Amino acid sequence: MIRKILLALAVLLGLVILGVGGVVAYLQSDSDNLRNRLLGVVNEPLTVPVQATGLELDILGQFPDISLRLDDVFIEDPLRPGTGDTLLYFDEVYAQFGLFSVLRGETVLRRVTVSDGALNLRWEADGRTNFDILQEDSTESTSYIDLKGFALLNARIHLSGYGESPWEFPFVAERIKLTGVLDAEQFDAQATWELLIPRWNDQSVRIGGSTEFYQNSEVDQILVDNGHVTINDWELDLEGSIQQGMGQWMARAQDLDMRDVMALLPKALVPDPSTVVADGTLDLTVVASTTPAGSRIKAEGDWKRGSLNASKGWIVGEEVSAHVVFDNGPQARLESATLDISNFSFRSRNSTLSGSFRMDNLVHPRAQARLNIEGQENILDIMHWLEFPTWEGSRGSVQGRIGWKQTFPSLDALAAQGLWLGQWSGSLEVQKGHLVIQGVPQPTQLPSARLELRGQDLYIAEATVQTGSTQARLQGTVHNFLNDNLYHCQLRITGREWRMEDISDWEIWNGNFTGEPDDGEEFADTYDLELAVDRMRFGTFSATDVSGRFSGKGLHVESDNVFLRHSGGSLAGRVEWLPLPQDQTQLLLDGRIQKVDLKALMQSMDNFGQTQLTDKNLSGILDAQFR
């Protein structure tokens, strides 16, 4: 029994070998004609011919398929004929054809494998592409494509565009593979890919993934389902559809590491990764729409449980949360792109910060931001962020809302200039301020202040300033407070009772407010001040209803309408304080004394420091002109 079975198997195997051998012999005998037929299938759907230095028929290598191996395959750039520019070049291309279809007189391309080469895909400014090389299928031909698989191995791919904003993007396709049914009637395949971007922010990035494609005659679009994308160690779910040359894609991921996200941001947005160190997790959704004109990409994420260290400790944030959206816009260009960070909040030092940031047009950026500040004993936080190191020991609370907007010629200009010179808005309130300023001998009290930002000016809606027992109320505008021009102060300063000793001992004019080194330039700011004080004291001198309008530049100040009441009468006139060379000064007085009690005047002025004419031997009412 066993002998009969073995004999039958031997006969059957012999018949198979004879059959296969016969087929091989037949194909080998007609190999030249067959090579031409197979190469015709490769060239037939193309508008430009495939050039190859070697052409070899392999019958047994991929049996039962027949393989046509093409060496040094080259297709010239169809938009630049005669130049030798390359659309594609590969060392080897394998085209596999169905054996039995060949025996039936048909030539059906089943699989294609290309390896070790380069592919240059280009979009011209007029919308043409150099890879639109397929022509309509011939319905009368017995040669056609019925792909069951496609593989691209180790290919250097270079994408570029020459529209209003030229761009390029090189990467390496280490492996792209399609398997399944890939014909005109049905598309049901599994795709896998492994890509390498060798130079992305001074690092290499690997992008891998897999997905399923599905289409049949009843569905007018290709459906993409059960997809996965990996970017380095990330994994995102992928789904989408392709219809009439347009694609809709969606990728989702949960709990991505924010440090990895920051590392992958374009250098245009984060030129130096050390300037912004972020931690936490990001839930990300990416929606992409692809058309022949380009790809619109909208990435939307929620940053959770985050921390932030900006500019190496300038801002250190904890408990960070934010909603982040990047959209390259309907034109799919940097000019139409938007970066929108909304509903962000975090805790930094003694403050809680929240707000939003938006930037439109990443070529010539238009940026705007809103910031809410809350906190207790956080006035030093503000000085820290302003980079004013000379306020150590100060106390107080600051709360309010700030708005800012600015247009920049480039992203590099935004990075270099920062927030300075923008247009500002909003208001801040200061409570219980105790200011210790380097160079000022005694602290400055700021019981309350309400400040408004108007463009590049600071408007003091109301503020109370105190040194010693002297308290003043301020209202007015400091022009150019937020730019590099000289200040111009327009202020109204009022008070109930001032002691001039408090002001002279204060020496606020010697304060080092910013910590910047002395540039050697003289104080040259300008000012217009309106003063009104109920009572002013200086030693034994006392005056009431003191008022005047003072204007000046630097240390040169003058007033034409100084007025005060003293000793039952009044003094009015002109005052000028004039700095002279070699640290000398000159005081000019020109006015009128009316109805002043002479004895009281001499007493209040301590007899002007002399003993010949004193309050002991002078009395009466004085009316006089003085200069």
Is residue 357 a part of any domain in this protein? yes
504 with 578, same domain? no
The model's pLDDT over 324-345, given as tens digits with 9 standing for 90+, comes to 998 888 777 778 889 999 989 9
Question: Would you give the DSSP letter of residue 165?
Answer: S
What's the mean pLDDT in 379-400? Answer: 93
Q: Which residues contact 376 (CB under 8 A, 6 or more apart)?
A: 350, 397
510 with 587, same domain? no
Is residue 438 a part of any domain in this protein? yes
Last residue of a domain, one of 486, 510, 539: 539
Question: DSSP for 346-388?
Answer: EEETTEEEEEEEEEE-SSS-EEEEEEEEEESS-HHHHHHHTT-
The model's pLDDT over 196-233, given as tens digits with 9 standing for 90+, comes to 877 765 667 788 888 887 776 566 667 777 777 787 77
Kindly indicate the confidence band of residue 118, based on its pLDDT and cuts at 50, 70 and 90.
very high
567 with 527, same domain? no
Domain limits for position 570: 541-627
The predicted pLDDT at position 12 comes to 32
The predicted pLDDT at position 606 comes to 82
What's the mean pLDDT in 106-120? Answer: 82
Q: Could you tell me which of 397, 368, 367 has the C-alpha nearest to residue 382?
A: 397
512 with 364, same domain? yes
Is residue 173 a part of any domain in this protein? no
Asked if residue 3 has pLDDT above 50, the reply is: no
% the chain with pLDDT above 90: 35
Q: Which residues contact 13 (CB under 8 A, 6 or more apart)?
A: none
620-625: long-range pairs with CB below 8 Å, 24+: 621/568, 621/569, 621/595, 621/596, 621/597, 622/569, 622/593, 622/595, 622/596, 622/597, 622/598, 623/592, 623/593, 623/594, 623/595, 623/596, 624/592, 624/593, 625/591, 625/592, 625/593
Asked if residue 315 has pLDDT above 50, the reply is: yes
Region of poorest pLDDT, from 85-99, 162-176, 371-385, 430-444:
162-176
The predicted pLDDT at position 297 comes to 83
Q: Could you tell me which of 433, 477, 432 has the C-alpha nearest to residue 452?
A: 477
517 with 471, same domain? yes
Is residue 573 a part of any domain in this protein? yes
d(C-alpha 322, C-alpha 358), whole Å: 13
546 with 518, same domain? no
d(C-alpha 353, C-alpha 371), whole Å: 7
Give the Cβ contact number of residue 514 at 10 Å. Answer: 14
Q: Which helix (H) or strand (E) holds 332?
A: none
Question: Would you give the DSSP letter of residue 608?
Answer: G
501 with 361, same domain? yes
End-to-end CA distance of the chain: 146
Q: Could you tell me which of 342, 337, 340 has the C-alpha nearest to residue 362?
A: 337
The predicted pLDDT at position 368 comes to 95
Kindly indicate the confidence band of residue 262, based on its pLDDT and cuts at 50, 70 and 90.
confident
The model's pLDDT over 145-157, given as tens digits with 9 standing for 90+, comes to 566 778 889 999 8
The predicted pLDDT at position 465 comes to 97
Last residue of a domain, one of 524, 539, 554: 539
Q: Which residues contact 408 (CB under 8 A, 6 or more apart)?
A: 364, 365, 366, 367, 414, 417
The predicted pLDDT at position 452 comes to 97
Asked if residue 25 has pLDDT above 50, the reply is: no
Instruction: Output the six-digit token pair for 196.
Output: 């390498």
In degrees and rounded to multiples of 5, residue 606 shows phi and psi of: 55, 40
The model's pLDDT over 358-370, given as tens digits with 9 standing for 90+, comes to 999 988 999 999 9
d(C-alpha 99, C-alpha 108), whole Å: 9
How many domains is the chain built from?
2
Is residue 553 a part of any domain in this protein? yes
Residue type, 610: Q
Instruction: Output the six-digit token pair for 626.
Output: 């003085």
d(C-alpha 484, C-alpha 420), whole Å: 9
Q: Could you tell me which of 405, 270, 261, 376 has the C-alpha nearest to residue 320?
A: 261
575 with 449, same domain? no
Is residue 156 a part of any domain in this protein? no
More confident residue, 450 or 127: 450
Kindly indicate the confidence band of residue 599, based on its pLDDT and cuts at 50, 70 and 90.
confident
Cα dihedral 475, 476, 482, 484, rounded to 10, equals -130
Instruction: Output the six-digit token pair for 524.
Output: 């040259």
Asked if residue 127 has pLDDT above 80, the reply is: no
The model's pLDDT over 376-388, given as tens digits with 9 standing for 90+, comes to 999 999 999 888 8
Give the Cβ contact number of residue 494 at 10 Å. Answer: 15
358 with 507, same domain? yes
The model's pLDDT over 536-586, given as tens digits with 9 standing for 90+, comes to 999 888 999 999 999 999 889 999 999 999 988 999 999 999 988 888 889
Pairing of β 423-435 and β 621-626: unpaired
Mean pLDDT for all residues in the chain: 81
In sequence order, what are the beta bridge partners of 147? 182
Give the Cβ contact number of residue 228 at 10 Å. Answer: 14
d(C-alpha 408, C-alpha 414), whole Å: 6
545 with 605, same domain? yes
Q: Could you tell me which of 79, 167, 149 has the C-alpha nearest to residue 110?
A: 149
Is residue 301 a part of any domain in this protein? no
480 with 425, same domain? yes
What's the mean pLDDT in 483-512? Answer: 93
Is residue 442 a part of any domain in this protein? yes
What's the mean pLDDT in 427-448? Answer: 95
Asked if residue 591 has pLDDT above 80, the reply is: yes
Last residue of a domain, one of 494, 522, 539: 539
The model's pLDDT over 275-288, given as tens digits with 9 standing for 90+, comes to 778 899 999 998 88
Asked if residue 17 has pLDDT above 60, the reply is: no
d(C-alpha 110, C-alpha 97), whole Å: 5
Residue located via tokens 């990330």: 234
Give the C-alpha distances (Å, rounded to integers) separating 351 from 403, 404, 519.
17, 19, 33
Instruction: Output the six-digit token pair for 250.
Output: 């969606």
Kindly indicate the confidence band of residue 267, based on its pLDDT and cuts at 50, 70 and 90.
low
592 with 496, same domain? no
Q: Which residues contact 291 (CB under 8 A, 6 or more apart)?
A: 245, 246
Q: Which residues contact 14 (CB under 8 A, 6 or more apart)?
A: none
The predicted pLDDT at position 73 comes to 86
The predicted pLDDT at position 438 comes to 94
Asked if residue 30 has pLDDT above 60, the reply is: no
Q: Is 479 exposed, middle or buried (0-12, 13-18, 19+ CB in 10 A)?
A: buried
The predicted pLDDT at position 302 comes to 95
Asked if residue 159 has pLDDT above 50, the reply is: yes
